[in-house]
Amino acid sequence: MKVTEIWKSKQKPTISYELFPARNEKAAGKLEKIIDKLVASQPDFVSVTFGAGGSTREGSYKLVEKLLKEKKLETVAYFTCYGLGPDQITSVLNAYRALGVETVLAARGDPPHGEDDFKPHPESLQHASDLLAFIRPKYDFCLAGAGYPEGHIEAESKEKDLEYLKLKQDNGADFIITNYAYDNQFFFDFMKSCQEIGITVPVMPGVMPIYSVKMMNNLAKLCGATITDEIKEGLAKIPEDDKDALFEFSVDFAVKQCRGLIEAGVPGLHIYTMDRAKAAVEIVGRLRADGLI
């Protein structure tokens, strides 16, 4: 079922998990167990990332196949156009269509890490909006685009970034999944700006639990997310090696954030799992126990 249809069929906000393909056999074994834990928490759908330049093409396909066919989960396939030519794009999308994928998130992607010899295809599309325009007339996928509550890190300005987001809708995006932000006010301001510029498709926030301080800082640096004072002050009270206290703080913080987002009327919560299950399952369990999802 397409994600937009899942929303129509549900009274409460959906829960979805983002996963990325395992890098090697050992990680694949671990991922299998993680998937089973996530499946047991009954998400409405899951999603699978796609390494820019086709770097995870096989792995992404196999993971989508596993989730869709073996685990019987509605699965959104992400797809990035960075560096790929039209034939390569068509071949990946045809494979996903043949597999039964119904929803695709079309992103630009970033140059693959540590692959300095990667050569982009000369006819590579430049932006996600170009990819959406390429896909829309040829495929019946439900399409999503990526949005950035704090603005994309390379954006000329928040205003320009929003104009390009509107172009994603104009070129075929049926909904938006956002990057995470630790302060809900970024989402609320972003939603308001989306409305003002004429973005009418559903906007679903991404939620990133704090898995470790190091990871939080690294990711924030990569995407420009603000680490709020509330987080800094909360973390300052936790002894460095107290994993249980960090877990409790992370889950409490995420649950509070999710409550605020649900109260604001979001269509669903998209949890960035970073291929981990414990925090996501706990957050979802608490939201469900409170009847919020």
Ligand X SMILES: Cc1cc2nc3c(=O)[nH]c(=O)nc-3n(C[C@H](O)[C@H](O)[C@H](O)COP(=O)(O)OP(=O)(O)OC[C@H]3O[C@@H](n4cnc5c(N)ncnc54)[C@H](O)[C@@H]3O)c2cc1C
The site map against ligand X for 110-139 (x = CB under 6 A) is x----------------xxx----------
Q: Could you tell me how far CA 89 lies from the centroid of its own chain? A: 20
- R_g over Cα of the chain: 18
Those residues with Cβ within 8 angstroms of residue 98's Cβ, 6 or more apart along the chain or in another chain:
none
Find the shortest distance in angstroms from Cβ 71 to ligand X. Answer: 19
Question: Pairing state of beta strands 142-147 and 45-48?
Answer: unpaired
Counting contacts by CB under 6 A, is residue 78 touching ligand X? Answer: yes
Counting contacts by CB under 6 A, is residue 177 touching ligand X? Answer: yes
Classify residue 70 by burial, with Cβ atoms within 10 Å: 0-12, 13-18, 19+. exposed
Nearest residue (CB) to ligand X, 160 versus 243: 160
| 14, 16, 75, 80: residue in contact with ligand X (rule CB under 6 A) | 80
Catalytic residue among 18, 74, 150, 282: 18
Residues 181-220 that bind ligand X (CB under 6 A): 206
What end-to-end distance do the CA atoms of the chain give, in Å? Answer: 19
Nearest residue (CB) to ligand X, 134 versus 235: 134
Distance between CA atoms of residues 148 and 170, nearest Å: 17
Distance between CA atoms of residues 29 and 254, nearest Å: 28
Using CB under 6 A as the binding criterion, the count of chain residues that bind ligand X stands at 24
| 54, 59, 83, 109: residue in contact with ligand X (rule CB under 6 A) | 109
189 neighbors 165 (Cβ within 8 angstroms): no
Counting contacts by CB under 6 A, is residue 161 touching ligand X? Answer: yes
Interacting residue ranges for ligand X, rule: CB under 6 A:
49-52, 78, 80, 105, 107-110, 127-129, 146, 152, 154-155, 160-161, 164, 177, 179, 206
